[in-house]
């Protein structure tokens, strides 16, 4: 019995130490973790967080190279800074963590600007428009969320604006959550869930690239924008990015980006709807 | 640390812990049965079956659970077999655990000298009686430490279930972090909940180990 008591004591002690370490981490988080533009230039590499499974925005092609709308922009940033890029593959749910721990300098992973996120990270000027969309199987196209039955499930990816929107506005709808885009896609193709809610750019791309699917709801929730994000307080990098985005507007960089990466999927019809040039969002028509 | 946040997340964590426990214990119970059967087939070299079991054990001991789950959940529907995520979880854990349990139990069986079988049979016991009264009790006794280690291992393996959309502890924590960015609280609660689940197992396990240590000599 004595031994058991001793053992419990030892374990409790270990737990307390673990808790103390966590608390220590909490304090450490207040320290400066980000790198300024000069520090990045000095080190010769910039760490950019992108998606690796989200064609055509950020994905790894058959040669193992990062490609897509976000990546095209990332390459230009590195070129103008005169540094190499170290791509860091992120999941939707851990984009904020990567910035807060200083593991990446910039997130360019189709990151939608929201108020909640802006409390945790700093967003630069936007470079793309986005809203939510819902894609369903052709045999039962969901055209309104009221068609969702009590037992039906909507697929969402954990940590996306689609999840936040549905949790907040439709708390009674059952969600089937996946942690990666690839997993959600496979599950949806296998018949899990009645529909899939995600950025409308992505569901439209999905329905174009795969047969048997229809985007029943093209625009849901508020019209949002996508922007680069940096660690909260990293003024130096934020200002540099904003100047860069404004300068790139002069040469219509994001239109070129669209034509190089997205036109193949969406055609040219969506160009002016999606692209934000020079950080200026056109007023709604 | 914000205690209000922790309080408001508690119900979600409780729900997740229950799911983790449910899948964990079902998987462990089935894997003990499966492992037991496989070990006996392997040890007594049942024709044909022992080769199949051998392949099964090597296949599942040498591939990660994550890959097995992907195969069950995302692969099988492609050939027309659709399994519910929870069933996939239990099945995956059972197949993985079965392979580990089989090897632990087989090592217990093999630790018993053949002379014991010979002695028991020379005393007039039948083959089944020998196995039931002489071999099995000792084999179980000497494989208990490995069993307990396997149980703890399997419970911890449940943390990869997020890959197949099961809202277990790990996924709940990740999801909440993604939704509300209360990282410290979410991670601290994750550690505490895993400890709550695993500490009793490890403590009860070591008690059971002591109680059952009757095989072998010299104590």
Partner-chain residue, chosen from B77, B183, B206, that has the shortest CB–CB distance to A190: B77
pLDDT, one tens digit for every residue, chain B (219 residues): 788 889 999 999 999 999 999 999 999 999 999 999 999 999 988 899 999 999 999 999 999 999 999 999 999 988 888 888 999 999 999 999 999 999 999 999 998 888 988 999 999 999 889 988 888 888 888 888 899 999 999 999 999 998 898 999 999 998 998 888 888 899 999 999 999 999 999 999 889 888 887 766 544
Q: Does A6 touch chain B (CB under 8 A)?
A: no
Query: Is B203 inside a domain boundary?
Result: yes
Name the residue with tokens 């709308």: A69
| Per-residue pLDDT tens digits for A170-209 | 999 999 999 888 899 999 999 889 999 999 988 998 998 8
Name the residue with tokens 């217990």: B108
Query: Is B112 inside a domain boundary?
Result: yes
Crossing angle between the packed helical segments B3-43 and B85-110, to the nearest 10 degrees: 50
A106 Cβ contact partners less than 8 Å away, ≥ 6 residues apart: A46, A47, A48, A49, A74, A77, A228, A229, A230, A237, A241
Q: Do A8 and B187 touch (CB under 8 A)?
A: no
Q: Do residues A249 and A278 touch, judged by C-beta distance below 8 A? A: yes
Domain with B85 in it:
3-211
Query: Is B217 inside a domain boundary?
Result: no
CB-CB neighbors (< 8 A) of A96 in chain B: 177-178, 181
Interface test with B, best of A22, A121, A154 (most B CBs within 10 A): A22
* CATH code of residue A171: 3.40.190.10
Query: Is B218 inside a domain boundary?
Result: no
Query: Is B65 inside a domain boundary?
Result: yes
Residues A50 and A118 in one domain: yes
Query: Is B216 inside a domain boundary?
Result: no
B95 to A26, A180, B72: CA distances (angstroms): 40, 25, 11
Report the candidate in A42, A72, A41 with the shortest Cα–Cα distance to residue A57: A72
Q: Peptide bond before A56: cis, by omega within 30 degrees of 0?
A: yes
Query: Is A24 inside a domain boundary?
Result: no
Residues A123 and A141 in one domain: no
CB-CB neighbors (< 8 A) of B83 in chain A: none
* CATH code of residue B164: 1.10.3720.10
Nearest CA in chain B to A91: B178
Nearest CA in chain B to A159: B178
Query: Is A12 inside a domain boundary?
Result: no
pLDDT at residue A8 is higher than 70 = no
Distance from CA of B16 to the nearest CA of A (A): 14
Residues A218 and A249 in one domain: no
Partner-chain residue, chosen from A23, A176, A186, that has the shortest CB–CB distance to B74: A186
Query: Is B25 inside a domain boundary?
Result: yes
CB-CB neighbors (< 8 A) of B201 in chain A: none
| Per-residue pLDDT tens digits for A10-41 | 666 566 566 656 655 555 545 678 999 999 99
Q: Do residues A179 and B162 touch, judged by C-beta distance below 8 A? A: yes
Q: Do residues A134 and A195 touch, judged by C-beta distance below 8 A? A: yes
Crossing angle between the packed helical segments B49-61 and B3-43, to the nearest 10 degrees: 150
Q: Which residues of B touch A (CB under 8 A)?
A: 1, 73-74, 77-78, 82, 162-165, 167, 171, 174-175, 177-181, 183-184, 187-188, 191-192, 195, 199, 202-203, 206-207
Query: Is B152 inside a domain boundary?
Result: yes
B210 Cβ contact partners less than 8 Å away, ≥ 6 residues apart: none
Q: Do B179 and A159 touch (CB under 8 A)?
A: yes
B9 Cβ contact partners less than 8 Å away, ≥ 6 residues apart: B176, B182, B185, B186, B189
Residues A157 and A217 in one domain: yes
Query: Is A14 inside a domain boundary?
Result: no
Query: Is A167 inside a domain boundary?
Result: yes
Q: Please give the torsion angle defined by the CA atoms of residues A93, A98, A104 and A109, in that order, rounded to the nearest 10 degrees.
A: 10
CB-CB neighbors (< 8 A) of B74 in chain A: 183, 186-187, 190
Name the residue with tokens 């049942």: B46
How many structural domains comprise chain A?
A: 2
B177 to B27, B180, B183: CA distances (angstroms): 28, 5, 5
Domain with A139 in it:
131-223
What does the alpha-carbon distance between residue B104 and residue A271 come to, in Å, rounded to a whole number?
Answer: 62
Q: Do residues A140 and A188 touch, judged by C-beta distance below 8 A? A: no
Q: Do residues B37 and B163 touch, judged by C-beta distance below 8 A? A: no
Residues A100 and A236 in one domain: yes
């Amino acid at each position: 019995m004595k031994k058991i008591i001793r053992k419990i004591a030892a374990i409790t002690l270990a737990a307390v130490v673990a808790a103390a370490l966590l608390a220590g981490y909490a304090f450490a988080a207040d320290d400066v973790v980000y790198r300024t533009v000069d520090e990045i230039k000095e080190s010769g590499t910039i760490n950019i967080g992108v998606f690796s499974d989200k064609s055509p925005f950020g994905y790894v092609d058959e040669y193992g190279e990062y490609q897509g709308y976000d990546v095209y922009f990332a390459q230009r940033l590195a070129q103008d800074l005169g540094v190499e890029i170290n791509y860091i593959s992120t999941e939707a749910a851990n984009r904020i963590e990567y910035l807060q721990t200083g593991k990446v300098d910039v997130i360019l992973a189709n990151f939608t600007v929201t108020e909640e996120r802006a409390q945790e990270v700093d967003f630069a000027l936007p470079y793309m428009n986005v809203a939510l969309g819902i894609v369903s199987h052709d045999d039962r196209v969901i055209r309104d969320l009221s068609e969702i039955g009590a037992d039906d499930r909507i697929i969402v990816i954990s940590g996306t604006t689609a999840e936040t929107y549905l949790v907040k506005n439709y708390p009674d709808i059952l969600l089937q959550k996946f942690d990666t885009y690839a997993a959600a896609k496979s599950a949806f193709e296998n018949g899990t869930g009645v529909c899939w809610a995600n950025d409308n750019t992505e569901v439209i791309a999905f329905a174009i690239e795969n047969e048997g699917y229809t985007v029943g709801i093209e625009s849901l929730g508020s019209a949002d924008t996508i922007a680069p994000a940096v660690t909260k307080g990293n003024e130096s990098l934020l200002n540099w990015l904003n100047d860069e985005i404004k300068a790139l507007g002069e040469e219509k960089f994001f239109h070129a980006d669209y034509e190089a990466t997205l036109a193949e999927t969406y055609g040219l019809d969506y160009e002016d709807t999606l692209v934000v040039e020079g950080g200026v969002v056109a007023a709604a028509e | 640390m914000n205690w209000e946040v922790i309080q408001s997340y508690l119900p979600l964590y409780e729900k997740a812990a229950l799911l983790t426990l449910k899948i964990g214990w079902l998987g462990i119970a089935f894997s003990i049965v499966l492992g037991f059967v496989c070990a006996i087939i392997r040890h007594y070299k049942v024709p044909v079956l022992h080769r199949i079991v051998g392949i099964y054990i090597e296949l599942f001991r040498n591939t990660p659970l994550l890959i097995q789950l992907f195969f069950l959940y995302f692969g099988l529907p492609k050939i027309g077999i659709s399994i519910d995520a929870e069933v996939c979880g239990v099945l995956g854990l059972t197949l993985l655990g079965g392979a580990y349990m089989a090897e632990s139990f087989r090592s217990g069986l093999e630790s018993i000298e053949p002379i014991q079988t010979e002695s028991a049979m020379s005393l007039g016991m039948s083959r089944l009686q020998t196995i039931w009264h002489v071999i099995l009790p000792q084999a179980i006794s000497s494989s208990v430490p490995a069993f307990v280690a396997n149980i703890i291992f399997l419970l911890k393996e449940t943390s990869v279930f997020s890959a197949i959309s099961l809202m277990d502890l790990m996924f709940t924590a990740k999801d909440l972090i993604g939704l509300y960015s209360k990282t410290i609280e979410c991670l601290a609660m994750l550690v505490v909940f895993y400890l709550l689940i695993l500490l009793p197992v490890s403590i009860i396990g070591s008690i059971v180990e002591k109680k059952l240590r009757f095989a072998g000599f010299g104590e």
